[in-house]
Amino acid sequence: MNDDSIHLSPQLAGLDALGIEALGIETLGGQLVWRIGKDDLSDDVVVRLGYASATPRFAHLPRLRSASDQELQAALEAGQINIEWVD
C-alpha cells in the first residue's frame, strides 16, 4: 500500500478546525528562528520569534537565561509567557 498523505502532529492537525492551513504553518515554521528563556530582570518567560533574516538582531537584545521544562510549563499554564517579534 502506498500512502502519499502528509501526517501532521495532532497540534497542527487541529488547526484545520480554525480554518488555518496546517501545511502553511509547517512551511512558515521552517523560515523562523526563536529563543526561549527567562528575562534576567523580571524573571518572566520570554519567547523571541522572527524570520531567519532577523537572526543577527537577536544578538543585540538582552540575554535570556535558560528555563527548565517545568518553568516553561508553569508559565504556559499561568498564561505568563511574553512573546516578542524580532524584526
pLDDT in tens, 24-65: 666 776 788 889 999 988 889 999 999 899 999 999 999 999
CA 19 vs. chain centroid, Å, equals 20
Q: Is residue 10 part of a domain?
A: no
Contact 25, 52 (CB under 8 A): no
Q: How far is CA 80 from each of CA 66, 71, 76, rounded to the nearest angstrom?
A: 16, 11, 6
Please determine, for residue 8, whether its predicted confidence score (pLDDT) is greater than 60.
no
Q: What residue type is assigned to position 55 of the chain?
A: T
State the cell numbers at 43: 524573571
pLDDT score at 31: 82
Say how many domains are in the chain: 1
Cα–Cα distance between 37 and 63 in angstroms, integer? 9
Query: Which domain CATH number covers 42?
Result: 3.10.20.570
Q: Is residue 19 part of a domain?
A: no
Report the phi/psi class of residue 79: left, alpha or beta, with left for phi > 0 and alpha for psi in -120 to 50.
left
